[in-house]
Amino acid sequence: MVRRVSIFGSTGSIGRSAFDVIRHAIETGTAEFEIEALAAGQDVEKLAEQARVLRPRIVVVADESRLDELTARLAGTGIEVAAGAAALNEAATRPCDRVLAAIVGAAGLESTLAAICAGNDVAIANKESIVCGGPLMLQEAKKSGARVLPVDSEHSAIFQSLGDGKQLEQLTITASGGPFRTWTLEQMERATPGQAAAHPIWSMGIKNSIDSASLMNKALEFIEAAVLFDVPASEIDVLVHPQSIIHGMAHFSDGSVIAQLGTPDMKTPIAYALGWPDRIPTSVTRLNLAQISRLEFTEVDENRFPSIRLARQAMNAGPGARVILNCANEAAVSAFVAEKCGFLDIARAVEAALERFSSSNFASSKCETLEEIAELSRYGHFLASDWLSNAPSRAGG
Span 239-287, pLDDT tens digits: 999 999 999 999 999 999 999 999 999 999 999 999 999 999 999 999 9
What are the pLDDT digits (tens) for 319-362?
999 999 999 999 999 999 999 999 999 999 999 999 999 999 99
pLDDT band at 107 (very low <50, low <70, confident <90, very high): confident
What are the pLDDT digits (tens) for 156-201?
999 999 999 999 999 999 999 999 999 999 999 999 999 999 877 7
Q: What pLDDT is attached to residue 268?
A: 97
What are the pLDDT digits (tens) for 144-155?
999 999 999 999
Residue 391 confidence (pLDDT) above 80: no
Residue 103 confidence (pLDDT) above 80: yes
Q: What pLDDT is attached to residue 392?
A: 56
Three-state secondary structure readout of the chain = CEEEEEEECCCCHHHHHHHHHHHHHHHHCCCEEEEEEEEECCCHHHHHHHHHHHCCCEEEECCHHHHHHHHHHCCCCCCEEEECHHHHHHHHHCCCCEEEECCCCHHHHHHHHHHHHCCCCEEECCHHHHHHHHHHHHHHHHHHCCCEEECCHHHHHHHHHHCCCCCEEEEEEEECCCCCCCCCHHHHHCCCHHHHCCCCCCCCCHHHHHHHHHCHHHHHHHHHHHHHCCCCHHHEEEEECCCCCEEEEEEECCCCEEEEECCCCCHHHHHHHHHCCCCCCCCCCCCCHHHHCCCCCEECCCCCCCHHHHHHHHHHHCHHHHHHHHHHHHHHHHHHHCCCCCCCHHHHHHHHHHHHHHCCCCCCCCCCCHHHHHHHHHHHHHHHHHHHHCCCCCCCC
Q: What pLDDT is attached to residue 302?
A: 95
Q: What pLDDT is attached to residue 208?
A: 85
Q: What pLDDT is attached to residue 315?
A: 96
Q: What pLDDT is attached to residue 203?
A: 67
